Amino acid sequence: MSISSLSERSSLESLRTGSPALSIQSEPEPLTPALEGKMVWEGGELDPINYVVQLQESEIENIRAAVIHFKMLNLPRGRIDKETFPLGERLAERLSTISNEVHHGRGIAVVRGLGRLNLNDEEAVIAHAGVSSYVGPLRATDAYANQTLSHIRDATHDVVPAWARNLPLAGSKLPSAMEFHCDRFSGDILTLHVRNDGGAEGGGEQYVASFWRIYNELLATEPEALETMAEADWPFELKKGDKSPYLERGPALFFAKGKPICQLVKAPLLGSPRIPRSTSMPAVSMKQAHALQVVEDLARRFCTRINRQTGDIQFINNLSIMHARAAYSTKGIQRGSSRHLLRMFLRDPRNAWAKPCRYEEKFDGPFAAGREQNLPVVDSDPWRKISGRESHG
């Protein structure tokens, strides 16, 4: 499948040249045998008829009633769960089976029908969190911005306050394309609520690719690329609050109980035109650059475009399904594109995959007990201090 509009530049063309690569000798995890099952798919094999869950009219009204019920409780949005967002037994069971599909099936599901409710901003956040609690009851909160729910939108036309003039916007606030990735240590399930798809001609199409299919292909043709991904010397640039960026080395490919886990994200490795990496950071090595490119090429070859409608709630396995988006247009739009998605990361303890012991704390960190959850209704601060570097995109 050709998605030439996905990015204007390849990963290799984005690399800074002239920076010496810092090499660290490390023993990569042994590669697992070729994978089988529903999660190994490509292109047209992923039919919307198999991953779109169409809500019935009575179920849509059940969700409307649950939204009203929660609003009447007058509780903080961080308290949304199965008890405060009650659904009928049959609908609760349908949503629960989505977790099985995301963890043990094709790795993606889309709940469709909420567009008919014409929810306002607050109600949409409540509905997203409420429905999602039946798929993955645990919500992740990142350690950088203490953010549980974030808004994916075009903020390039926002009025910039004086204090934020030197702060770049994060990739989630830009209309530019994003290449294929899995968000690093962010959560097991990525869930996106499509508030506005931006219109038929607006761009911003979403794509998914099975990393397990990519893994099998590389295992047969170029296992060295997988071994490179599993080496613990990838130079990720991270940032906490308003502190200076720091280097964290680690693998982009993990293994636990026979399952490969992809956590390949490019922004902390390559930077971007708007958010360049600190010059103090070592560049990726040539073999790492090659691994990035071959994975991207195979993801484009094996990917499919998500069937999307306004109101959808998407659930994507963030450990085995890579995702990407095309650029979306802002030409002639005074206030920027109307494309708007709500994003959270989830975990279902009932189905959660085992994580490698050495990195278990990294995977579990976003779900630490007692952390305050922030589910903002309006994205009023797209320049928050961590925007200089995220683990996403």
> How many CB atoms within 10 Å of residue 264?
23
pLDDT in tens, 10-53: 444 444 333 333 334 456 678 999 999 999 999 989 999 999 99
pLDDT in tens, 128-151: 999 999 999 999 998 777 789 999
Extended strands (E) in 84-160 = 108-112, 138-139, 150-153
Residue type for 305, please? R
218: three-class secondary structure by DSSP: helix
Find, among 264, 226, 251, 182, the residue nearest to 35 by Cα. Answer: 226
C-alpha distances out from residue 37 to 51, 210, 257, 323, Å: 15, 11, 16, 20
Q: Which domains does the chain show, CATH number per domain?
A: 4-8+29-388 (3.60.130.10)
- Looking at residue 371, its pLDDT comes to 85
Looking at the chain, how many residues does it have? Answer: 393
CA distance 69 to 71: 6
Is the Cβ–Cβ distance between 222 and 197 less than 8 Å? Answer: no
pLDDT in tens, 236-274: 998 776 678 899 999 999 999 999 999 999 999 998 877
pLDDT band at 276; cut points 50, 70, 90: confident
- Looking at residue 17, its pLDDT comes to 37
Contacts of 197 (CB under 8 A, 6+ apart): 204, 308, 309, 310, 339
Reported as type and span, the H/E element at residue 122 is: helix 121-132
- Looking at residue 15, its pLDDT comes to 42
CA distance 30 to 260: 10
Is the Cβ–Cβ distance between 173 and 309 less than 8 Å? Answer: no
CA distance 230 to 214: 15
Is 121 a residue whose pLDDT tops 60?
yes
- The listed range with the strongest mean pLDDT (102-106, 166-170, 239-243, 366-370) is 102-106
> How many CB atoms within 10 Å of residue 361?
11
